[in-house]
Amino acid sequence: MPATTTIADVRAMLERLVAFDTVSRNSNLVLIDFVKGWLARHGVDSLLVRSDDGDKANLLATVGPAVPGGVVLSGHTDVVPVEGQPWTSDPFRVVERDGRLYGRGTCDMKAFLAIALALVPDMHGLRRPIHLALSYDEEVGCRGAPRLIDTMLEQLPRPAAVIVGEPTEMHVVSAHKGIAVMRTVVTGHEAHSSQTHRGVSAVTTAARLIAHLDDLARQRVEHGPFAAGFEPPYTTIHVGTVHGGTAVNIIARECSFEWDVRSIPEDGPEGILEGFREHCRTVVEPQMRVIGPGSGVATELLVEAPPLAHEDLNPAIELACRLAAVDTTVRVPFAAEAGLFQRAGLPSVICGPGSIDQAHQPDEFIALEQVEAGLGFQRRLIEALS
């Protein structure tokens, strides 16, 4: 049967998805309910995998026969905030200018989802299924995907490949970095700021620890380990927030900072975190407790998502390269859900429309030519599975 879905259909679907304010702090259920209803109108059942509080949900749906060897099209439904960004149009309304569609999530990554959903009416005669996997809270640490993947492994015939549609300009991405996010809380000992010998400053201690992390980061810049294809080609360590102190004339009792590790597959965050904790135990805390016995440093792992490691024999890469008509792959420094699928034993790859350069920006956009390229890619997937 010839394809009937047009670029106008995709745009209409994208307008619906962008209109849902699914910033990660909000529920995504209104969007999920819309998608569930859309699929039901086309005879496709959906399974919701909810968060613990029930305020968010992943969606899993199978189009076509329930047999092994299908392909998963995976994408997250949440977007990053818009506050403080100088948008020139309503971020939750798609606006076209100069061949671009502007709006929060147009690029990252609702266009990929809009293409897949708009194409559902064309998915007739599939011999192997297309599984649609929509997740929540990817932008705040890939929190929803693990339970989505667990449910997929328990209830679906095993798929042959997973395509995660993050914006790659339709390049086939065979590897991405992992991410680990930590919060370190330094507890000092208060005293009057004129009596520094009687206090332990949590702010000063935190500053020294931040400098220690910066030293670890610089060591990797100079000495690696290195992984060709990534930019930059080494694990990065970055401190993003610092909060501490009560007043300028009080030696600070508490200071906290949050930091992340963006790791290449060869240099995971586990060793960095353990080494940091050991430095605190053996070097920093003994010095603090000479003056303040109750002083200390505690570091909590908030988020962890594994890297996607390149695999020479990966059917997902072979499929994506064939559909995208390319014979080379690239590697990217951002984290995504593909590493979680790979860790679960599912061949995975990233390929989607739009550029990561526009993601998270004010006036986020996707070029119409990228939407057309993504539409062609998924049409060819339907043909391959039919």
Catalytic residues, by residue number, are: 78, 138
Query: How many other C-beta atoms lie within 10 A of the C-beta of residue 199?
Result: 21
Is residue 103 within 8 A of residue 95, CB to CB? The reply is yes
Joined together, the tokens standing for residue 88 give 């020139």
Three-point CA angle 96, 100, 103, nearest 5°: 65
